Amino acid sequence: MFTGIIEAVGTIKALDNLGHDIRLTVVAGKMDMSDVYLGDSIATNGVCLTVVEKGSNYYKADVSAETIKYTGFAHYQSGSSVNLEKAMRPDSRFGGHIVSGHVDGVGAVESITEHTRYVEVWVKAPDELAKYIAHKGSITVDGVSLTVNEVKGASFMLWLIPHTLKETVIGDYKIGTKVNLEVDVIARYLERLMLGDKAAKSDKADISMSFLAENGYLK
């Protein structure tokens, strides 16, 4: 479990082909590796990866073909910068929101507008994720816990302060940059909960306006 508060920006040093999978080597930047052990989890641009080898300033993790398919790892290469966060401790501050490290889809940066004290960024999410993105709700972008400030269809807008731009890879975004998205886990649970008894009879949640009306959620 993570909080979306980035600890450091790392650099991909190598992506070694293991057949269907790749072994990723990440230089950890300023992140303290002294309390990282084999088997620990590190969110790498929002993707929960398991440490299989480590040194004083790097770690290695295996990335499956499934993960490559559904995340931005398909676009990464040696030298790419990545946001890093170690799994949260039960006695640490909860500064962001609940982040699982399970990416729901890949979005793309649509526009970047600089203002006096912040930068306005619009991101286009996959259409199937639009229903989970709410005004003033939480979303994880490349592992960063952020607040949605406006929504238009499947696009949403973020206001980014100088600290976030400086301490994460978001400062390097350009129009067209692919980003890992994880929607708020509470929205996922609510969708499933609203199915009620029908959840046991369906392989996937199918919440529609007619479903809401039939089950008393709409008048």
Domain boundary assignment for the chain: 8-86
Contact predicate 185/100, CB 8 Å: yes
Percent of the chain with pLDDT over 70: 92
Q: What is the pLDDT of residue 190?
A: 84
pLDDT tens digits, one per residue of 107-155: 999 999 999 999 999 999 999 999 999 999 999 999 999 999 999 999 9
Measured between alpha carbons, how far is 183 from 100 in angstroms, rounded to an integer?
10
* Nearest partner of 119 among 171, 54, 67, judged by Cα: 171
Q: What is the pLDDT of residue 188?
A: 83
pLDDT tens digits, one per residue of 97-110: 889 999 999 999 99
SS (H, E, C) the chain: CECCCCCEEEEEEEEEECCCCEEEEEECCCCCCCCCCCCCEEEECCEEEEEEEECCCEEEEEECHHHHHHCHHHHCCCCCEEEEEECCCCCCCCCCCCECCCCCEEEEEEEEEECCCCEEEEEECCHHHHHHCCCCCEEEECCEEEECCEEECCEEEEEECHHHHHHCHHHHCCCCCEEEEEECHHHHHHHHHHCHHHHHHCCCCCCCHHHHHHCCCCC
Match domain 8-86 to its CATH number in 3.40.50.2300, 2.40.30.20, 3.40.109.10, 2.60.40.10.
2.40.30.20
CA atoms within 13 A on the CB side of 69: 5
Return per-residue pLDDT of the chain as tens, 219 residues: 899 999 999 999 999 998 888 999 999 999 999 999 999 999 999 999 999 999 999 999 999 988 988 899 888 999 999 999 999 887 777 778 889 999 999 999 999 999 999 999 999 999 999 999 999 999 999 999 999 999 999 999 999 999 999 999 999 999 999 999 999 988 888 888 888 777 777 555 555 545 555 555 445
Q: What is the pLDDT of residue 214?
A: 58
Q: What is the pLDDT of residue 215?
A: 53
Q: What is the pLDDT of residue 217?
A: 47
